[in-house]
Structure 1
Amino acid sequence: MSNSNLFLKSGFIRAPLQNGVGRFVPQLQRIVLKFCKSNGSSRGLRDFIEQDLVDFAKQNPSVVVYLKPRRHRGPVIVAEYLNGDRVWMGMHNKTHSEITKWIEVLRTQQGDIASLRLRKYQYTDYPSVQGPWTPFTFKDPELNTAKLPDPKYGANNRLPMTATEKLRLMFEKQKLNDVNTAE
């Protein structure tokens, strides 16, 4: 174990509150936007507040949004999650679009996993030197550039006809019948 792990709390990654089993519970509980009204480095955060904050609050009714103006301080976003984690992000000289993307990242994650020493339920004295197995471990690399569906890779050539194709054929038959009856 490295020395950096001695000062981190340890835990398991799990879906909090069995999230997604019965219904989805957004994990972001509170977001605090700290900014200066006159400092130039807060311009992007002030633009976000003026243009997108109301829409963000309407789209995320479970998130409490606090605005905290501070004099002569850099812009900061603090996100608090249901599991008690707090994520602090400095937004010094960030643009409006960058701040929008970072707030979306904070909204969709479940807390600060980077500050957690991950534990596993399994343990072995002889870990694999080959690395973890993934579903793509033994796949042919040609699949990365292949245009699918391809019969070479087991694609079915006789795909069922789509509803649009059926309607198009029915329309063409009806058109031919109308032309034949008019003659």
Structure 2
Amino acid sequence: MSNSHLFLKPGFIKVPLQNGVGRYVGQLQRVVLKFCKSSGSSRGMREFIEADLVDFAKNNPGIVVYLKPRRHRTAIIKAEYLNGDIQWLNCRNFTKDEITKWIDLLKTQQKNSTGMRIRKLWHTDNPSIQGPWTPFTFKDPKLNLAKFPDEELSTPDHLNRTSQDELVELFKQQKLEELEKCENVERINATN
């Protein structure tokens, strides 16, 4: 482990859990577009504001857009996220298309606390190489390609059995194995 983590502020990840269960909540809260009205390096930002800003605001009602004209300064996009993180993007000499792509990227990404040493409430010396468990980890892969309703999958053989049925079946198998062991012991004793 390097000592680079000593210079980073410690903190915990503050993201909404289960984002997308029920509905997706966009993480971008506010966009501030800073630009100069006369500078040549802000031309792409001014073109974006004139041509595409109204459409962007209509298509994304959950994102607040502020315009901040500044004299003799380079164009900047400031993105603020729901977890309190702020990201700055210098847009010097960017074209209108580049600014559109960057704003779309800022809108779709979920900003984690980069520049922060992430602390966990647990530690292990042997981390898992299998990855996190999901509800689909041990499911049959043919369910991915099935068109529902499917006659083959709706037969009783493929329905989930209860735990009680599983235990009864295990008990029967154990009894059969015990009987076979007893019969084998009797045969060995009879031959001696």
Normalising by the smaller structure, the TM-score range is 0.5 to 0.7
What is the aligned length?
136
Partner amino acid, structure 1, of 2:96? H
Q: 1:64 to 1:78 in 2, by over 3 A?
A: same
Q: Which moved more, 1:4-13 or 1:119-128?
A: 119-128
- Aligned-pair RMSD on alpha carbons? 2.8
Secondary structure in 1 aligned to 2:88? strand
Distance 2:66 2:78 in 1: 10
Unaligned stretches of 5+ residues in structure 2: 132-141, 148-192
Distance 2:91 2:12 in 1: 30
Identity of aligned residues (%): 65
Q: Which moved more, 1:6-15 or 1:78-87?
A: 6-15
Secondary structure in 1 aligned to 2:5? helix
Shift of 1:118: 3.1
Q: Per-residue CA shift, 1:131-172, capped at 9, x if unaligned?
A: x557xxxxxxxxxxxxxxxxxxxx9xxx99xxxxxxxxxxxx
Moved over 6 A (4+): none
Shift of 1:17: 4.5
Q: Is 1:36–1:69's contact at 8 Å kept on the other side of the alignment?
A: yes
Rg larger in 1 or in 2?
Answer: 2
Shift of 1:4: 2.5
Q: 1:18 to 1:10 in 2, by over 3 A?
A: farther
Unaligned stretches of 5+ residues in structure 1: 135-154, 161-183
Q: Per-residue CA shift, 1:28-63, capped at 9, x if unaligned?
A: 111000000111110111111111100000011011
TM-score (norm. length: structure 2): 0.61
Q: Is 1:87–1:112's contact at 8 Å kept on the other side of the alignment?
A: no
Secondary structure in 2 aligned to 1:16? coil
Shift of 1:24: 1.3
Q: Which moved more, 1:82-91 or 1:4-13?
A: 4-13
Shift of 1:127: 6.2
Distance 2:55 2:30 in 1: 16
Secondary structure in 2 aligned to 1:74? coil
